[in-house]
Amino acid sequence: MSGGQPSILVIGGGIAGIEAALGASALGAKVYLVEAQPSLGGRVAQLSLLYPQLSSSLEVLAPRMEKVVSDPNIEALVYAEVKEASRTGDTFKVKVVKKARHVDLSKCDLCGKCAEACPVEVPSEFDLGLSKRKAVYLPFNGAVPKAYVVDEASCPYFKDKSCTACRDACPKGAINLDGKPSEVEVNVDAVIIAAGYDLYDLRLKREYGFNVYSDVITGLQLERMLSPEGPTKGEVIVPSRGEKPRSLAIVLCAGSRDETALPYCCRVGCMAGLKHAYEVKKKYGADVDVYLCFNDVRAAGKGYEEFYREARRNGLVMVRGQPSEVRPTPEGGLTMKVFDEATNKLLRLNLDLIVLEAGIVPSSGCLKAAEIFGVERSPDGFLAEADPRLDTWSTKTPGVFIAGACHSPKDIAEAVSQAKAAALAAVAYARGKH
């Protein structure tokens, strides 16, 4: 502990990492927050409205991100990753690589001329392939830091120097295509891993036809469509036709609670599916038939059962059963059969759009961090807690704590509570009170 001030490294700048960093700072710690992507925010930044109150995700997230970057106790290392770590006594020596952004934040005024001039278009990761971005791009409108970035992987300058259009177009001289990554070394007393989740790869469940039929999408893609700032400006669109759907099915537990895929529950899919059904019905009313295919609905959080009832009142059709194989129809739509256990009837649904509420796995970045810091994993692959009843924020590795969806699938309320507990435990550990 240098100068009596505890120092904490937080890995992951999603909602859990943000809240862990703010919590540790409020307790007097110096915090280094490392985020791999070019902006803070994590998955919550991709969401439209948040259950159960249906508040705007960016309205919830933006003040928290701003608080992080204006906090003098927090050094946000955005677009950076931990390369290696070693331990001497009670201190972790951690090497962090800051990736080259190629855009000087102090000069860029966000005019966008670089992106206009850029000839390269690739699928946008933020919009999950529903829109294109340039090789130089703003991660999203509410990004923090709000700044452009050049993606080396899609820019030809980094292969053969054949393009410099953005540098030539930038009126501020803010682009440096020859910028190099830099390394920072930090010494910290404790580490909090908050590196989040990825979606289960639904291509492995071939019967759903994900990635085969463009009109089979994930719930996260629907979130991007429903977002007023998203690729379709808040409208739900059938990707193959660019039209609004007249019939849509939302399939819960896609890849979850399934011995051939993920045996565990994704814990957010039921509520996300209900939210999606509710939002689509609210937007388009009787113009669209919405079917919700479920095993059983798990709505156990505070205010969740009430939201479930409200969503049901909005005219969606609940079907208790998992669909069979998705097939194309001669008319250009999709069809699937579902045996409805509630009515004992075999239904054949003809659909314009199918939304899969996908299972959740620990992010690849989370697994990397676990390896670097020697954190055990549970049988389900997520990072293991010290005690599932009394201490879900500590690991069995002294000085390494966990928060958010890297520990198990969870919603924001749970992720934030665990982050605050992890911050408290990490600072206490640093002060020798463990």
Ligand X SMILES: Cc1cc2nc3c(=O)[nH]c(=O)nc-3n(C[C@H](O)[C@H](O)[C@H](O)COP(=O)(O)OP(=O)(O)OC[C@H]3O[C@@H](n4cnc5c(N)ncnc54)[C@H](O)[C@@H]3O)c2cc1C
Restricting to residues 173-202, which ones interact with ligand X according to CB under 6 A? 194-197
User: Could you tell me if 151 and 121 are in contact, meaning their C-beta atoms sit under 8 angstroms apart?
Assistant: no
Minimum CB–partner distance for residue 13 and ligand X (Å): 5
Tokens of 151: 């993606």
- Phi-psi region at 126: left, alpha or beta (left = phi > 0; alpha = psi -120 to 50): alpha
Tell me if 241 contacts ligand SF4 by CB under 6 A: no
Torsion of Cα atoms, 32 then 35 then 39 then 44, to 10°: -110
Is 279:49 a contact under the CB 8 Å cutoff? yes
Residues 206-265 touching ligand X, rule: CB under 6 A, are 219-220, 223
In contact, 140 and 45? CB cutoff 8 Å: yes
Report H helices in 177-336: 219-226, 269-284, 304-313
How many residues make contact with ligand SF4 (CB under 6 A)? 30
Question: How far is residue 28's CA from residue 30's CA, in Å, rounded to a whole number?
Answer: 7
Residues belonging to the chain: 434
- Please state the closest distance from residue 214 (CB atom) to ligand X, in A: 19
Inter-residue contact 326 to 335 (CB < 8 Å): yes
The partner in contact with residue 34, picked from ligand X, ligand SF4, none with C-beta cut-offs of 5 to 8 angstroms by kind, is ligand X
Q: Among the candidate windows 39-47, 53-61, 158-166, 222-230, which touches ligand SF4 by CB under 6 A?
A: 158-166
User: Please, which of residues 82-111 interact with ligand X by CB under 6 A?
Assistant: none
Q: Are 244 and 238 in contact (CB under 8 A)?
A: yes
382: contact with ligand SF4 by CB under 6 A: no
174 near ligand SF4 (CB under 6 A): yes
Q: Which does 103 bind (CB under 5 to 8 A by kind): ligand SF4, ligand X, none?
A: ligand SF4
Which range binds ligand X by CB under 6 A, 38-46, 105-113, 177-185, 206-214?
Answer: 38-46
Whole-angstrom distance, CA of residue 192 vs CA of residue 377? 15
Q: Tell me: does residue 139 bind ligand X (CB under 6 A).
A: no
From the list ligand X, ligand SF4, none, pick the one residue 174 interacts with, judged by a Cβ distance below 5 to 8 Å according to partner type: ligand SF4
Nearer to ligand SF4, 175 or 188 (CB): 175
Residue 223's binding partner among ligand X, ligand SF4, none (Cβ under 5 to 8 angstroms by kind) is ligand X
User: Min. distance of Cβ 241 from ligand X in angstroms?
Assistant: 23
Give whole-number Cα distances, 329 to 165, 207, 356, in Å.
45, 15, 19
Q: Which does 231 bind (CB under 5 to 8 A by kind): ligand SF4, ligand X, none?
A: none
Closest CA to 401 of 191, 87, 195, 196: 191
Stretch that binds ligand SF4, among 22-30, 91-99, 161-169, 359-367 (CB under 6 A): 161-169
- Scanning the structure block, which residue is given the tokens 């020859």? 178
Helix (H, G, I), strand (E, B) or coil at 95: strand
In the list ligand X, ligand SF4, none, the entry touching 150 (Cβ below 5 to 8 angstroms by class) is ligand SF4
Please tell me whether residue 122 binds ligand SF4 under the rule CB under 6 A. no
